[in-house]
Structure 1
């Protein structure tokens, strides 16, 4: 996957009563291995930037494969080989590389036990969690469940367990999962916004509705991008330079004349 940094196209921005804060909007899929790695790298870059208390982070829905059936009977290796048309040995190399990269940020991927699952219902549940201010907690829980714990993240009972684990009311979560229309439009709106940006791969980060960062970049790249964007939003005040000679003041002109 190639990565780049580029200006993002204008989209509707959310209202924020505090104009001094900066937004970071992240499009990702819980079935995307680089999205979990990118999440960790972004979090480290945010920490290194020292701006965590000044930035609002919001996750948005994206599906790598909307056509994936409700129940896929096969391994991740089988799925990738059939979809990408790659040799199985090549797929094995790819998965090993991703597993190694995940380990560098403290993640323990287990592709052997991974359950290939359509992520749409999980995205609906994530929007419900966002409405309860628990979106970040559920995002982390779902990613770990999918890549590290071998859980079926499209199974209704599993989703309810994970919702409860993330701090959501189980009964309310079960109601959302059972109602196929619940938060469906919110998910589709995220898809539409991603299309408006021209996003063709995830993770994708939009900083202050101005800059786009594509891919699981190193933490240093996120730190630099965040610092640059924040500096542009909050220009440093002028620093007055003292005259070389303390015996003379610099002559100036003003509305009342010159001195």
Structure 2
């Protein structure tokens, strides 16, 4: 997968840093999608997903109770974490998402990010990212398990065996690490983080209107500008 901010001919590129286990990333993706549904030039927009580890200390594939994790690692009392989850779930319902935090299995997400890169090479990255979010937040699946991930790949139309081989060989481990390093270089400390046309940033799960404004502004200055159209050359 090309590095962030690479130019796509006649396309407005939106680079997104996110993590499978980040609830606001799932929400931000849904809000961006709603904005694109309203954006008249949506067919000229390319969205690319980049890896970010919300909890890099999670390195294994053995699931950890999410509330226990937030209590032990982040210092949230269980009651406070549960109340926070309910607030997020309510916001999610408003945009058609079904958060089931009681099912979520906290695991390291590097392998899931590798699957996102594998899918990108086959033109299925967005579908794969959406399925990973659903697997984590709604289905309560272990998104570090290679067999689970291969099943998810097949569900979005990818070759299951090829996905399994890529994961077993750590084929996209360097691509994941490159994304993480680039996030550090850009000063990205939280996700979701959206960069439009390599210059306009939107941080967090912002309202649809904010995404629409970023889309329109960056479109006007890049693809839709006279220079981009070749006028005056």
Shift of 1:41: 0.5
Deviation string 1:101-149 (CA, Å, 9 cap, x unpaired) is 1111111111111111110001111111111111111111111000011
Aligned with residue 13 of structure 2, among 23, 38, 53: 23
- Residue pair 2:61, 2:142 contacting (<8 A) in 1 also: no
Partner of 1:120: 110
Shift of 1:28: 0.4
Partner of 2:126: 136
What is the DSSP-based 3-state SS (H/G/I as helix, E as strand, rest coil) of the residue aligned with 1:25? Answer: strand
- Residue pair 2:85, 2:101 contacting (<8 A) in 1 also: yes
Shift of 1:72: 4.3
1:1-259 residue pairs with structure 2 within 5 A? 13-16=5-8, 18=9, 20-179=10-169, 181-233=170-222, 234-235=224-225
What is the DSSP-based 3-state SS (H/G/I as helix, E as strand, rest coil) of the residue aligned with 1:60? Answer: strand
What is the DSSP-based 3-state SS (H/G/I as helix, E as strand, rest coil) of the residue aligned with 2:97? Answer: coil
- Unaligned runs of 5+ residues in structure 2 are 228-233
Question: Cα distance 1:71–1:169, how it changes in 2: closer, same or farther (>3 A)?
Answer: closer
Shift of 1:73: 4.8
Alignment partners' CA distance in 1, 2:62 and 2:70? 12
Shift of 1:71: 3.6
Question: Cα distance 1:81–1:21, how it changes in 2: closer, same or farther (>3 A)?
Answer: same
Alignment partners' CA distance in 1, 2:110 and 2:44? 31
4+ residue runs over 4 A deviation: none
- Bigger Rg, which one: 1
- Unaligned runs of 5+ residues in structure 1 are 1-10, 238-259
In the superposition, the TM-score normalised over structure 2's length comes to: 0.91
Question: Cα distance 1:53–1:67, how it changes in 2: closer, same or farther (>3 A)?
Answer: same
Shift of 1:236: 7.0
Alignment partners' CA distance in 2, 1:74 and 1:159? 18
Question: Cα distance 1:35–1:205, how it changes in 2: closer, same or farther (>3 A)?
Answer: same
Deviation string 1:16-75 (CA, Å, 9 cap, x unpaired) is 3x2x32110111001101001000001111222222111111111111111114144532
Question: How large is the RMSD of aligned CA atoms in angstroms?
Answer: 1.6
Deviation string 1:151-173 (CA, Å, 9 cap, x unpaired) is 11111111111111111111111
More divergent stretch after superposition (73-82 vs 53-62): 73-82
What is the DSSP-based 3-state SS (H/G/I as helix, E as strand, rest coil) of the residue aligned with 1:139? Answer: helix
